[in-house]
Amino acid sequence: MNRILPSLRLPLLWVAGYLIMLVLFLVPVLNLVTINFIMVPVFFLYMAVSRTKFALTAAAALLAAYLLGGTLGLVLGALPLFFLPSVIAMQRMYRKRNLARLAILSGTLTLLAELLVLLVVSKLFGYNLVESLRTMLTDSLVSLPEAWKSMVTPETIDNSVYYVIQSLPVFMIAFCVWYVFVCHAAGRWLLRKTGVTVPALSPVRKWKLPKSLVWYYLAVMILDFMVKPDSDPFLFTVVWNLLPLLTFAFAVQALSFLSYVTYHKRKGRFLPAAAVCLTILFPPFIYLFSMVGLFDTMFAIRERFADKS
């Protein structure tokens, strides 16, 4: 009996925490925060216990969710399990003691594959994403002031739907990267509390992009001025999605550069934090910020800074 209780403590605490998270999904405002951590409970449990105990604990959580909330509780309880294949891919990388970035990449690609399969299956069952977006945008006009409604024409709605559909790849990639990154960060912190070791990402100041990406970025920026939707729809879609992805990548490179400078100057983290806050408050600033990352990658500024130091 004394041996059984400690072995059940973690699963029981997990089920309780899982149910609390499901309740928070139904609370306005709080659900906007909770939804970002939806992948973490599955990751934590799968990493902390055996597969058999994971299956039994997950089944117990689903049963409890159904008993407490009926069909809605069961659906909410099953939602985090959608991320299980991605968690399994990450777990295999961690077990092999691979670098954390490889585990994050593996989890991201797996989750992206899941979303693609979901889109294909929904299409086979007759779900029309374009019409759904058109209906959603049209319905949203009802809440607009009368002065604005006259400015929104059917052509405006069609253009909005078109560009949203064209942006679907970058939305999907951003979704996958964000959820897997949050899962790694929060899950690793929780696992450390239980004595489970998960490899950490290298410090931000050490992050570097390969120089070959500079030429891709420059080429995409040039094509962005030249390619129009009517001239080459496929190339336009590629450029439309690559530009924000590469811009964000070089903005991260700029953040790495600022972290490197402040680390060696012993200035604390004010400069990188201020840059992130400025980018959030003024989104267009990310383009200027990405130029810093571009020059750092192209001219190896941090190496020259290190030599002078």
Q: What is the pLDDT of residues 131-140, one digit of tens each?
A: 787 777 777 7
Confidence of residue 113 (pLDDT cuts 50, 70, 90): very high
pLDDT at 283 over 80: yes
For the residues 39-52, what does the mean pLDDT come to?
90
Question: 95 and 200 in contact (C-beta within 8 Å)?
Answer: no
pLDDT in tens, 156-186: 777 777 888 888 899 999 999 999 999 999 9
Task: Give pLDDT, residue 3.
Answer: 44
* Tokens linked to 65: 């969710």
CA 19/CA 266 separation, integer angstroms: 44
pLDDT in tens, 208-224: 999 999 999 999 999 99
Task: Give pLDDT, residue 141.
Answer: 64
For the residues 11-39, what does the mean pLDDT come to?
88
Task: Give pLDDT, residue 68.
Answer: 85
Residue with tokens 């070089």: 250
pLDDT at 2 over 70: no
Question: 34 and 26 in contact (C-beta within 8 Å)?
Answer: no
Using CA atoms, how far residue 198 sits from 103, 201, 206, 296, in Å, is 10, 10, 19, 31
pLDDT at 1 over 60: no
Q: Is 287 exposed, middle or buried (0-12, 13-18, 19+ CB in 10 A)?
A: middle
Q: What is the pTM of this model?
A: 0.87
pLDDT in tens, 256-267: 998 988 888 777
Residue of 119, 116, 157 whose CA lies nearest to 138 = 157
Residue with tokens 């600022």: 258
For the residues 259-281, what does the mean pLDDT come to?
84
CA 112/CA 144 separation, integer angstroms: 34
For the residues 102-122, what does the mean pLDDT come to?
92
pLDDT in tens, 183-194: 999 999 999 888
CA 293/CA 96 separation, integer angstroms: 32
* Tokens linked to 243: 């530009």
19-23, 90-94, 149-153, 223-227: segment of lowest average pLDDT: 149-153
For the residues 60-82, what does the mean pLDDT come to?
87
Task: Give pLDDT, residue 5.
Answer: 41
Confidence of residue 308 (pLDDT cuts 50, 70, 90): low
* Tokens linked to 15: 């089920």
Confidence of residue 147 (pLDDT cuts 50, 70, 90): low
Phi/psi of residue 158, each to 5°?
-60, -45
CA 47/CA 58 separation, integer angstroms: 13
CA 233/CA 184 separation, integer angstroms: 37
pLDDT at 151 over 50: yes
Confidence of residue 87 (pLDDT cuts 50, 70, 90): very high
Domain coordinates of the chain in residue numbers? 203-309
pLDDT at 307 over 70: no
Q: Which amino acid is at 73?
A: G
pLDDT at 255 over 60: yes
pLDDT at 48 over 60: yes
**pLDDT averaged over the chain?**
85
pLDDT in tens, 196-205: 888 888 898 8
